[in-house]
Amino acid sequence: MVEVFAVASGKGGTGKTTSTVALGMALSDRYDVTVVDADTGMANLLFHAGLSDAETTLHDVLADEAPVEAATYDRFGLTVVPCGTSLDGFRDADPDRLRDVVAALAEDTDIILLDSPPALDSRTAVLPIVLADRIVVVLQPTIPAISDGLKVQEYATTYDTDVAGLLFNKIRESESIEQVSEKTERYFDGPTLAAVPESERAREARRAGRPLLAHAPECEAATAYRAAAESLTVRDGAAADAADRFQSAVIPESL
């Protein structure tokens, strides 16, 4: 069985990468989880997962210079596929190979989380959403974040990708999020999975190059991510034809 989630938000800096790694770790109690840095133009998942010195990355795989296995690393109970940060690496990468990468990874894991770029303005930026079965939308309680999150949802559903749920992130102590999340849910196809507080621990973890759930597993933000993972019901994708599914992941005919 495998289900592929794209962790997405139209807006930058909402906490997609932080959330990808945190959700991944929280889900790894129950599932075999693979996280992929699909933000191939501005990769930084490697800095969140202690992989800044990774030799082989997704860039090499997308350039057809290495097999997927050479770019997978076991860290913090996850299988991590980091991406390189060089411009050359990005230039030489063929984004369409991401399809094959996902198909290959799908043979051997329960859940794939794709850390997605904060944009919808190019084929490369949208591809993770197209390949995913469902998206997790990362939001902050601001007008542009919610409005961009709505756009991501509409792109996703247009391309036949469903919405697994919403993650509100960087909630300040003084804010009560219930009202906003309740009103936001009216316009989204998925429930609020969790509201993650703004947390100094999250910033510390990023500076230390460690996932939040490894750095401060007992903090409020980590607890919220575990609650989000708890409330996510993972669907049974048909295992056998996983490769098929992703190789043929295309926009529905009705377009």
Partner 1 sequence: MKLPRGRLDKSRVVTDPRDTLADVLDRELTGYAVFESQETLLLDGEGRGVMTFSDGVPVLVYHTGTDRGGPPALADLAVPGPYHVSLYTLDAADLESAHEAADLRVSPGMPAERLGGDPALADSTRRAAPDERLSAMGDGDAEAPEDGTADQSAVEAFLDDAEKIEAIKQQARSEARERAQEWDF
Ligand X SMILES: Nc1ncnc2c1ncn2[C@@H]1O[C@H](COP(=O)(O)OP(=O)(O)OP(=O)(O)O)[C@@H](O)[C@H]1O
CB of 212 to ligand X, least distance (A): 8
Contacts of 28 (CB under 8 A, 6+ apart): 77, 78
170 binds ligand X (CB under 6 A): yes
Contacts of 20 (CB under 8 A, 6+ apart): 7, 35, 45, 113, 114, 115
Residue from 196, 216, 222, 234 touching ligand X (CB under 6 A): that is 196
40 binds Mg ion (CB under 5 A): no
User: Given the complex with ligand X, which of 206 and 210 has the nearer CB atom?
Assistant: 206
Q: 57 is in the binding site of which of Mg ion, ligand X, partner 1, none (Cβ under 5 to 8 A by kind)?
A: none
Q: Are 132 and 3 in contact (CB under 8 A)?
A: no
Phi and psi at 74, nearest 5°, equal -90, 110
Residues 56, 70: Cα–Cα separation, whole Å:
6
DSSP character at residue 189:
S
Beta strands in the chain (DSSP E): 3-8, 33-37, 73-75, 78-81, 111-115, 134-139, 162-171, 192-197
User: Given the complex with partner 1, which of 44 and 157 has the nearer CB atom?
Assistant: 157
Q: 203 is in the binding site of which of ligand X, Mg ion, partner 1, none (Cβ under 5 to 8 A by kind)?
A: ligand X
Coil, strand or helix at 147? helix
Per-residue binding letters, 118-137, with partner 1 (x by CB under 8 A): --x-xx--x---x-------
Q: 193 is in the binding site of which of ligand X, Mg ion, partner 1, none (Cβ under 5 to 8 A by kind)?
A: none
User: Residue 227, Cα to own-chain centre: how many angstroms?
Assistant: 17
198 binds ligand X (CB under 6 A): yes
Report the site for ligand X in 217-236 (rule: CB under 6 A): 221
Q: 196 is in the binding site of which of ligand X, Mg ion, partner 1, none (Cβ under 5 to 8 A by kind)?
A: ligand X
Per-residue binding letters, 153-192, with partner 1 (x by CB under 8 A): xxx-xxx----------x-x-xxx--xx--xx-xx-----
Two tokens at 167? 């993650």
Q: 169 is in the binding site of which of Mg ion, ligand X, partner 1, none (Cβ under 5 to 8 A by kind)?
A: ligand X
C-alpha pair distances (Å), 174 with each of 24, 71, 142, 152, 177: 28, 42, 15, 28, 9
Q: Which residues bind ligand X (CB under 6 A)?
A: 12-18, 39, 118, 169-170, 196, 198-199, 202-203, 206, 221
